[in-house]
Amino acid sequence: MMCSTAYNHKLSCLFDRDHHFTGAIFDCDGTLLDSLHAWHDLEHAVADASKGTSVVTAADRAQLVARTVPETAAYLHHTLGFLDSSAEVEAFMDDFLIRYYAEQAKLFAGVYSFLNVCKAHGVHMAVASSSRRAYLDAGLKGAGIADFFEHIVSVDDVGLSKRDPRFFETVAHMLGTSHSETWVFDDAVYALKAAHCAGFPTVAVLGGEQKSSLISRPDETVGTLLIQGFSN
């Protein structure tokens, strides 16, 4: 059932005969899954495991923005003295985050129904994320949506950042769909810009503060998972 907001009406038009919507590339965190508290909870787990000797501060958090898991592990070890090696920290992070994604990451409202509509219209779908493949597998399976996707792709799988237009080109090639008929759904401005540069139509799934910071205008903008304009 579709809601009656303007944003949802725009997205429902993707399925009109006038549109050629054959492929969809979805970000995971912040777009399909509400998993962004994982890193906040990880900070608490680090503090608890270290008995309060390794506490992530606001200054540390600013340093950790957009770092990879190995880079974050190295920072937590070398700067905060957490555990005996970066490798141990990385293993700690993997264990915690895989369990978090499997047990606590939840679908945003309407996602399941929207994916069902896409499937019913024969849209080829993939997940393309900066998260590790193990986290993606755990989260998507835990949320019951893994089977919707023909491909689940981490940046680690292809060796390209989502800041690189070639990342989205690679995923579309896997789907076998053209750039102009493959829509990219994401909540990260840099990813939307990269997809747009590669010729993909885009849907920005952004919250209030993010909307005001949008630099390159996407083809559609929706409030946080009103992409889902389709109620579960």
pLDDT score of 207: 53
pLDDT score of 110: 79
Q: Identify whether residues 91 and 176 lie together within a single domain.
A: no
Structural domain span for residue 45: 38-103
pLDDT score of 219: 58
Is 70 within the bounds of a domain? Answer: yes
Is 227 within the bounds of a domain? Answer: no
The CA-based dihedral angle spanning residues 136, 138, 142, 147, taken in that order and rounded to the nearest 10 degrees:
60
Q: Identify whether residues 73 and 185 lie together within a single domain.
A: no
pLDDT of the chain, 232 residues: tens digit per residue = 222 233 344 566 777 766 678 999 999 998 999 987 898 999 999 999 999 999 999 999 988 877 889 999 999 999 999 999 999 999 999 999 999 999 999 998 878 888 998 999 999 999 999 999 999 999 999 999 999 999 999 999 999 999 999 999 999 999 999 999 999 999 888 899 999 999 998 888 865 334 433 334 555 544 444 443 333 3
Q: Identify whether residues 91 and 10 lie together within a single domain.
A: no
Q: Please enumerate in sequence order all residues whose Cβ is within 8 A of that of 213, keeping only pairs 6 or more positions apart, or say none.
A: 189
Q: Identify whether residues 73 and 184 lie together within a single domain.
A: no
Domain final position from 86, 103, 120: 103
pLDDT score of 55: 94
Q: Identify whether residues 98 and 125 lie together within a single domain.
A: no
Number of domains in the chain: 2
pLDDT score of 52: 94
Q: Identify whether residues 215 and 134 lie together within a single domain.
A: yes
Q: Identify whether residues 65 and 171 lie together within a single domain.
A: no
pLDDT score of 18: 66
Domain final position from 65, 84, 103: 103
Q: Identify whether residues 98 and 110 lie together within a single domain.
A: no
DSSP lists the bridge partners of residue 29 as 33
Domain final position from 60, 85, 103: 103
3-state SS of 21-69 is: CCEEEECCECCCEECCCHHHHHHHHHHHHCCCCCCCCHHHHHHHCCCCH
Q: Please enumerate in sequence order all residues whose Cβ is within 8 A of that of 104, keeping only pairs 6 or more positions apart, or say none.
A: 35, 37, 38, 41
